[in-house]
Structure 1
Amino acid sequence: MTLELEVPRRAAAWPRAVAHVLVASLGCGLALGLQAQDWQAAIRAGDYDRARTALEGALLASPGDEELRYEHARVLGFLGSVDAALADLDALLARHPDNADYLLGRAQMLARLGRNEAALDSTAKALELAPDYADVWALHLQLTERTADRAATEALRREIAVRFPDSDWWRRPPAPAEYMRWLSVDWGTDRLSNGAPDWSRESLRLDWQTTGGASLYGAIADGRRFDRSDSTLELGGSWQALARWRIGAGLAATGDTDFEPARTLSASAQRPWADGWGTELGFKRREYSSADVTTYSFTGDKYVADYRIAYRIEYSRLLGAGSSTGHALMLGWYPNERRTLGVTLGAGEEIETVGLDRLLRTRVSSVTLNGRETLSPRFAFRWWLGTHRQGDFYRRRYGGLALRVGF
């Protein structure tokens, strides 16, 4: 009897155990399925914060799921967490170095960081693995255009045309109306502390670009300080030199000067480098009635996605009165092609006119906010606001507006 009773019990327990395992498995699979539906629906809706939360929950349950890791990287990219997205993609490529999708994603993140040469390396490898991958070709073309190498860009465009003759994404877009000459009208004012008279300055400037790529300008300015006025005429331009250098030069002259230099000679040399880096060397010589001031400057900048970070150091020497050093940190934001915003922080020493026939070296500090708005291909304006402390002599609070018209 005991045996007869035991057999049914074991037979009944076995189905129950199997049922528990099946229920647990189905429950886990159902949960994962619901999580997959959640992040997929969130991505379709453009709710990337919710997609990120759902994907991170799914990755906790399945940390080795490479599809989830790839989608997580894509969502991080949409949210602007480019470095974190790049880390996910690098981890995937460490296991699958020949995956063209991962290489494309990595190139996209590198491009957003301004690391164009590294991004080009990734797209080139992806094209070796998937030579008919149109998205990779499109990004490779965009990155090549950024190098400003016209010959390489056109050669690549011809190669793409042969491979994708029925597509039009590779075709050069119609050129917008291009203005070769621009007229700018500037107005600015400075309010001084310590009861000193306010300053003001107005200028009219004409810029034009030649068919050979040179940029030329001429300007007339009228400034008023300390109840006196000076009028200045300035001419200059910039030209492409060697492979990637651009050289600039300018000459300004003021007649019967009260506070402006009688003559100013300036020169500059600019060059872009790899991965969004750039440098500029500058020289300026100002000849006042009482002394000459020579200034040398170096600027280094870096473009990261929609931002520019730059640092400039200036060394000035006043004949017979020593030297001074100034520093400036510049931060710029380019949210779109029509708008720019920036801030410049300055500190150090400066040799400047602090009164009639008074050219002195003083400690200075300044903060300047500036922006530019492009209203149309023909019209644009820029503005600036700031404060400048000139040692113990005065503090200037200044602002200005400039309107630019193309014709």
Structure 2
Amino acid sequence: MKRWLWLALALCAPLAQADVATARRQVEAQQLGAAQATLEAHLARQPEDAEAQFLLARVLAWQGRTQAALARYRQLLQREPDNADYLLGQGQALLWVGRPRAALEVLERAARRAPDYAEVQQLMQQARAALTSPATTTAPALAEPPRRRHELELSTRRDWLDSGYDDWRSQRLDYASTQPEGLGWYAALLREQRFGEWDRGAELGGVLPLDANWTVQSEVGYQPSPHFLPQWHADLRLQRRLPAGFLGAASIRRTEYETTRVDRLALSGERYWNAWRASYTLNLTDVQNAGTPIGHDLALDYYYDNLSYAGLRLTVGEEEAVEEQRLITSDVRAIGLQGRHWLDGGWALTWEFGQHRQGDYYQRRWLQLGLRHAF
């Protein structure tokens, strides 16, 4: 009897290995549905095969079935909670499903277990970048693309000015569409009131990941009959992901007013670590026939509950501004707080308030509130 049992086990082992090998060949041929069927049939016979479960979890994630993949990863990690490969796979699935904060927590666990695991370090940078720019995350070339995310926001803002100036008012309707390792785009309709006049305009932009590290972004804006806003602007930005959670970027922008032109070069650096993001931007501006102001922008953000965040903004240096229908350049000092809090059902509240001093011309305080929906 024992001899028959050993014979059966000896025959089953090669068959089990053949099933997994067949599934791997199907994955290489991008036959993900067939690979899933092969692995599920195999696991029905041998449910404890961790290698097959791990491959099935990845196949499910590659097909966009991230919730099913996450369930498989939870089962695997119950048995081996310190397995860096399982943690890496779970972190990737969380990133694709739009939960970069949770992904970062998992990947930090993997990094503590395997500090030299290059793929873990790379994915951690992607998760940190995705906290502010979801289009920068990366999916395997053989996978079907994860589900595209759309967001729509309606916001209103009011600025209170001193020195006898009328208050400003503005409303915006913003739309954004993002997808990991795919083209992202955004657009906005806006209207603003200053100095007793209303201006209306539109903006359109796109974000294209060139590879795992490089991203290019472009934006244009147009106001058909402006009183104080520019007639148009165009912006081009190139971003590079760097080691240790750093990002570097450079952008050029041209803004055309009725009476003058403004060119700006912006050089920025960002650092992501744990739940934090810090950035610095140097703005070098050339105002036609009016000098070359230099400004500095600093930001510090804290992320919680995935994409919810609260942040501090500081601006110092020189900046151009519109006073009635004249473009002026003066020293500026500004401080602001802003944030976005995601609620259940894909809804978020956005907020921003602060104070801005435009040299000796005026001081303004502002408050902006918005409602955002993801679908």
Above 0.5 in TM-score? yes
Q: Does 1:227 align with 2:196?
A: yes
Selected match of 1:332 from 270, 287, 301: 301
Correspondence for 1:293: 262
Selected match of 2:247 from 278, 283, 302: 278
Report the count of equivalent residues.
260
**1:296 CA drift (Å):** 0.8
Correspondence for 1:395: 363
Give deviations 1:35-74, integer Å, cap 9, x for gaps.
xxxxxxxxxxxxxxxxxxxxxxxxxxxxxxxxxxxxxxxx
Whether the aligned pair in 1 keeps the contact of 2:139 and 2:180 (CA below 8 Å) is: no
Structure with larger Rg: 1
Correspondence for 2:23: none
Whether the aligned pair in 2 keeps the contact of 1:179 and 1:406 (CA below 8 Å) is: no
Q: Does 1:146 align with 2:132?
A: no
Q: Does 1:375 align with 2:343?
A: yes
Say if 1:366 and 1:401 are closer, same or farther in 2 by CA, change over 3 A: same
Q: How do 1:231-310 residues align onto structure 2 when only pairs under 5 Å count?
A: 231-310=200-279
Q: Any gaps of 5 or more consecutive residues in structure 1?
A: 1-100, 102-112, 126-138, 155-174
Whether the aligned pair in 1 keeps the contact of 2:111 and 2:120 (CA below 8 Å) is: no
TM-score (norm 1): 0.58
**1:304 CA drift (Å):** 2.3
Say if 1:327 and 1:153 are closer, same or farther in 2 by CA, change over 3 A: farther
Taking only aligned residues, the RMSD between alpha carbons, in angstroms, comes to 3.1
Give deviations 1:150-186, integer Å, cap 9, x for gaps.
44999xxxxxxxxxxxxxxxxxxxx8xx563222111
Correspondence for 1:89: none
3-state SS in 2 of match to 1:331: strand
Q: Any gaps of 5 or more consecutive residues in structure 2?
A: 1-81, 83-103, 127-137
3-state SS in 2 of match to 1:191: strand
In 2, distance between residues paired with 1:195 and 1:266?
A: 34
**1:124 CA drift (Å):** 6.2
Give deviations 1:294-336, integer Å, cap 9, x for gaps.
0110111112221112111101101111110000121111133
Correspondence for 1:41: none
In 2, distance between residues paired with 1:217 and 1:152?
A: 25
**1:120 CA drift (Å):** 5.2
Whether the aligned pair in 2 keeps the contact of 1:182 and 1:208 (CA below 8 Å) is: yes
Correspondence for 2:13: none
Whether the aligned pair in 2 keeps the contact of 1:237 and 1:249 (CA below 8 Å) is: yes
Whether the aligned pair in 2 keeps the contact of 1:144 and 1:152 (CA below 8 Å) is: no
In 2, distance between residues paired with 1:382 and 1:304?
A: 23
In 2, distance between residues paired with 1:191 and 1:332?
A: 26
In 2, distance between residues paired with 1:147 and 1:347?
A: 29
TM-score (norm 2): 0.63
What is the percentage of aligned positions where both structures have the same residue?
Answer: 28
**1:246 CA drift (Å):** 1.1
Whether the aligned pair in 2 keeps the contact of 1:306 and 1:334 (CA below 8 Å) is: yes
In 2, distance between residues paired with 1:204 and 1:332?
A: 24
In 1, distance between residues paired with 2:312 and 2:122?
A: 31
Selected match of 1:204 from 173, 189, 198: 173
Correspondence for 2:288: 319
Correspondence for 2:153: 184
3-state SS in 1 of match to 2:360: coil
In 2, distance between residues paired with 1:144 and 1:153?
A: 19
Whether the aligned pair in 2 keeps the contact of 1:179 and 1:378 (CA below 8 Å) is: no
Which structure is richer in relative contact order (CA contacts within 8 A, separation 6 or more)?
A: 2
**1:242 CA drift (Å):** 3.9
3-state SS in 2 of match to 1:323: coil
